[in-house]
């Protein structure tokens, strides 16, 4: 039996982040297909993913990654050095706030998981044009978001950025971001990314 169960679906960016963490750390897991609307018993906020480890269940991806990192051996997802760890937290939050509230909302609307008026979709895209260059500049300074090794921050960023080429508007932003493209190339060569390729989106969660 797998060590961990991850409840979610493969196209979900946050579910992919939890799966990436398991692959990067070598944790055996089972993906249990579950849509947000089915999550009531596992997450009162009806969002994916959640995990089960023995008799413990946990939701919120940042809490999940921290738990996996503290509980299991394998490469650390947060650096040991306190300043580097704080920078990792900073970039995780920046993805989960600024990028989620721009590019991810735009792509969720594109795939039909959000239904917002056109002006709001335009606003998300305009915000993405301001937000993505911040990541672009950082990836011009270091190989990954925090230094020379993959951290949790990269595992939050990758599932969102990997949708860019499929979405008019975000595609152009990605193409205008050479450092982000270089980073995406490095990330896409990792076994964790290859093993978590999302199923094509039909009636599933973004």
Binding site for ligand GSH (CB under 6 A): 12-14, 36, 46-48, 60-62, 205-206
| CA end-to-end distance (rounded Å), the chain | 28
Report d(CA 59, CA 50) in Å as an integer.
Answer: 4
Nearest to 121 by CA among 132, 133, 134, 108: 108
| For ligand GSH, the closer CB: 11 or 169 | 11
Helix (H, G, I), strand (E, B) or coil at 78: coil
Closest approach of ligand GSH to the CB of residue 51, in Å: 10
Considering the complex, state which of residue 172 and residue 199 has its C-beta at the smaller distance from ligand GSH: 199
- Residue whose CB is less far from ligand GSH, 57 or 62: 62
Q: What is the closest distance, in whole angstroms, from the C-beta atom of residue 68 to ligand GSH in the complex?
A: 13
Tokens linked to 141: 């300074």
Q: Give the C-alpha separation, 205 to 24, whole Å.
A: 24
We find the least distance from the C-beta atom of residue 40 to ligand GSH, in angstroms, to be: 12
Other CB atoms within 10 Å distance of the CB of residue 50: 24
Minimum distance from CB of 182 to ligand GSH (Å)? 26
Nearest to 143 by CA among 85, 176, 187: 187
Closest CA to 1 of 42, 30, 21: 30
Helices (H), 1-81: 13-25, 61-71
Residue nearer to ligand GSH on the CB measure, 139 or 206: 206
Nearer to ligand GSH, 38 or 178 (CB): 38
CB of 154 to ligand GSH, least distance (A): 16
Q: How far is the CB of 140 from ligand GSH (least distance, A)?
A: 27
Neighbours of 6 (CB within 10 A): 23
Cβ distance to ligand GSH smaller for residue 163 or 183: 163
Paired residues of 29 in beta bridges: 4
């Amino acid at each position: 039996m797998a060590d961990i169960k991850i409840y979610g679906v493969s196209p979900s960016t946050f579910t992919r982040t939890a799966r990436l963490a398991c692959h990067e750390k070598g944790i055996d897991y089972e993906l249990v297909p579950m849509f947000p609307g089915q999550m009531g018993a596992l997450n009162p906020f009806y969002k994916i993913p959640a995990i089960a480890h023995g008799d413990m269940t946990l939701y919120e991806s940042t809490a999940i990654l921290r738990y996996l990192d503290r509980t299991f051996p394998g490469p650390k997802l947060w650096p040991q050095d306190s300043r580097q760890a704080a920078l990792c937290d900073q970039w995780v939050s920046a993805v989960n706030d600024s990028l989620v509230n721009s590019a991810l909302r735009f792509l969720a609307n594109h795939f039909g998981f959000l239904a917002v008026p056109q002006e709001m979709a335009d606003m998300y895209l305009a915000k993405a044009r301001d937000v993505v260059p911040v990541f672009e500049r950082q990836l011009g300074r270091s190989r990954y978001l925090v230094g020379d090794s993959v951290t949790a921050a990269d595992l939050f960023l990758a599932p969102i950025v990997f949708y860019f080429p499929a979405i008019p508007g975000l595609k152009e932003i990605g193409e205008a971001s050479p450092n982000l493209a270089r980073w995406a190339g490095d990330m896409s060569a990792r076994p964790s990314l290859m093993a978590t390729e999302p199923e094509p989106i039909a009636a599933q969660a973004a």
